Amino acid sequence: MDPTDADPQTGGSTQNTPSTQMALHRRPQHPFYTLPPELILDIVDLLPPEAFINFAFANYPLLHATGLAPALSRIRIDYITNNTRIPALFPLFRMPAEIMLHIMRNLKPLDIMRFVLANYQDLARQGITPPLTEDTLRQLRNAVRSRLGPG
């Protein structure tokens, strides 16, 4: 292979085959995305829960691709974006945010994200989750579309 054909992001060929186009389309090409999953896990393990939650919403495709964020459904995206009020199932939501974050420090990153996505609206009211910008919402919706396909 001619060295000029190598893709600087992936080190592979830039041949324009359907499988190459599909792989490049699905995985964002920021250099951070080329880090091994183990290194990404080591990095996010060092983040306190509130920083990890912000990082996760800003980099959902990366964390989902490395198994650190659960798959989202259209229903979950609707819940996150529409201020749907579901009665609190646990008395935990009457706890101060500081205690909730302290409890989350004992969870693994994937479990933090599962908890946050399942309880987004309540955590948002406590100021634990970030407000979702249009760019973040678009990114989350695109992640659902790419996982579920058209329709």
Q: Which amino acid is at 3?
A: P
Mean pLDDT computed over 107-111 = 90
One domain, residues 61 and 110: yes
One domain, residues 1 and 45: no
Q: Tell me the per-residue pLDDT of 6-19, one tens digit each, with 9 for 90 and over.
A: 443 344 444 444 44
In this predicted structure, what is the pLDDT of residue 111?
A: 92
One domain, residues 66 and 80: yes
Sort residue 11 into left (φ over 0), alpha (ψ -120 to 50) or beta: left
Mean pLDDT computed over 36-64 = 89
Residue 148 CA to residue 151 CA, distance in Å, equals 8
In this predicted structure, what is the pLDDT of residue 53?
A: 92
Looking at the predicted structure, is the pLDDT value of residue 52 above 60?
Answer: yes
Give the residue from 26, 27, 57 showing the smallest Cα distance to 138: 57
One domain, residues 25 and 99: no
One domain, residues 20 and 47: no
Q: Report residue 3 as tokens.
A: 């060295």
Residue 69 CA to residue 139 CA, distance in Å, equals 14
Q: How confident is the model at residue 28 (pLDDT cuts 50, 70, 90)?
A: low
In this predicted structure, what is the pLDDT of residue 25?
A: 47
One domain, residues 42 and 56: yes
- For 75-131, give the DSSP string: HHHHHHHTT-----SSGGGGS-HHHHHHHHTTS-HHHHHHHHHHTHHHHHHTT-SPP
In this predicted structure, what is the pLDDT of residue 82?
A: 77
One domain, residues 22 and 55: no
One domain, residues 43 and 62: yes
The more confident residue out of 45 and 4 is 45
